[in-house]
Amino acid sequence: MLRRRLPHRKSSMSMLNKFAGDFVMPNPGHRRWSFFNFRSAYYMHSAYETALHSHRTGDGYADVNWDDLRFSLTPTDYMYSMKYSKDGGFSQGELIRYGNIELSPSAGVLNYAQGLYEGLKAYRKANGNGFLLFRPELNAQRMQIGADRMCMPSLAVDQFVHAVKQTVVANKRWVPPPGKGSLYIRPLLFGSGPILGLAPAPEYTFLIYTSPVGNYFKEGLAPINLIVAELTHRAAPGGAGCVKTIANYAPVLKAQTQAKEKGFTDVLFLDSVKNKYLEEASSCNIFILKDNVISTPITNGTILEGVTRRSVIEIARELGYQVEERLVSVDDLAVADEVFCTGTAVVVAPVNTITYNDQRYTYTCGEETVTNTIYKSLTAIQMGLVEDRKGWTVDID
């Protein structure tokens, strides 16, 4: 865990050593014992100087209009990079300047979509001292499961979490002030080595970049409007719908774009066998409430098991609601009282309407809803506003 504070003024060499001390810890689960290298030292020193500069010159924040944050890319200072080769395993990770990367035209990811991504957030603590991650080990585990499915090597959980922490610290001035948003953290794992015939790539890259973000939907925190996709499916049994492979996302763009053109916020996908059971939206899970019973589609290999979904199930049960993971049919939409979507990016988004088969169903939204109670309970933990009795948050001091 990174617990050191930046010193105010020290000699350049001792600053470098202190900074290097933070970053060149032996990685648990690392295959080889790697040594400090000078390229890393250079970047670390620069990262240190940047952090120190903003520490000295003002409030420690990047020049961003925090009130205007959307879910869009604002490049930050550093990204984290690690390579994997068959002979050497994963290299020592390093922080490098955020920027374009070089890839062979025959890289596995470009030709055969051998790639995964993850998404998690860091919140600045309300007292201004450090940051909070939310259950990052679950993202690490999901990446491991995804890597196995996509025939890629994966990092140890500790390695992943350590890399995430380093990336947040290096980009700390981009973490929005409390209440204004979060630093979205995007880990990637992809086949970067060249391969012509269909086969696993010979080399992989693990990369993390970040961006300060606000609300995901243009509606902000206002309720969203979904349309059920009747002709397009996101996943099929035996496919890869349950992992966060990049290959799951481009195929939903057409349905999503058409839905947006018609004024909807997002698309809700049905199972591909019966075309009857709800699965999920293009980037979030779905819950319905009927008579104090909360239901969410059971994950059976075609639905991504969201970290937020899992957390909401636990929170709702603790709040006294009955929560069922079951097949949720389109017929359930006609009788539901409330509907909401969950995800790291969308958090807990209330659904105003769902359109299916030319029918439009409208749900209760607002302050006095179960959706809002769950939203508040979850975000209070994520932002450190209440005591985290579950041990879900991870401190970066």
Ligand X SMILES: Cc1ncc(COP(=O)(O)O)c(C=O)c1O
| Contact footprint for ligand X (CB under 6 A) | 119, 280, 283-285, 304, 306-309, 342-344
CB of 185 to ligand X, least distance (A): 11
When CB distances to ligand X are compared, the closest residue is: 306
**If residue 81 lies in a helix (H) or strand (E), which one and from where to where?**
strand 78-85
CB of 345 to ligand X, least distance (A): 6
CB of 26 to ligand X, least distance (A): 29
- Closest to ligand X by CB, 30 or 309: 309
The owner of tokens 């959307």 is 70
Residue 270 is given by DSSP the state E
- Closest to ligand X by CB, 133 or 304: 304
CB of 104 to ligand X, least distance (A): 28
Do 173 and 98 touch, CB atoms closer than 8 A? no
Token pair of 152 as six digits = 């890629």
Distance between CA atoms of residues 259 and 103, nearest Å: 34
In the chain the beta strands, taken as DSSP E runs, fall at 78-85, 89-90, 94-97, 115-117, 120-124, 131-134, 182-191, 203-213, 224-229, 266-270, 278-281, 285-290, 293-297, 322-326, 338-343, 347-356, 359-362, 393-396
Q: How far from the centroid of its chain's Cα atoms is residue 316's Cα?
A: 22
Token pair of 214 as six digits = 């606000």
**If residue 269 lies in a helix (H) or strand (E), which one and from where to where?**
strand 266-270
CB of 49 to ligand X, least distance (A): 34
Measure the CA angle with vertex 68, ends 101 and 307; round to 5°.
65
- Closest to ligand X by CB, 201 or 284: 284
Residue 213 is given by DSSP the state E
CB of 268 to ligand X, least distance (A): 11
Catalytic option among 125, 172, 244, 390: 244
- Residue in 165, 62, 112, 136 with CA at minimum distance from that of residue 393: 136
Is residue 244 among the annotated active site residues?
yes
Token pair of 54 as six digits = 């903003």
Residues forming the active site? 244
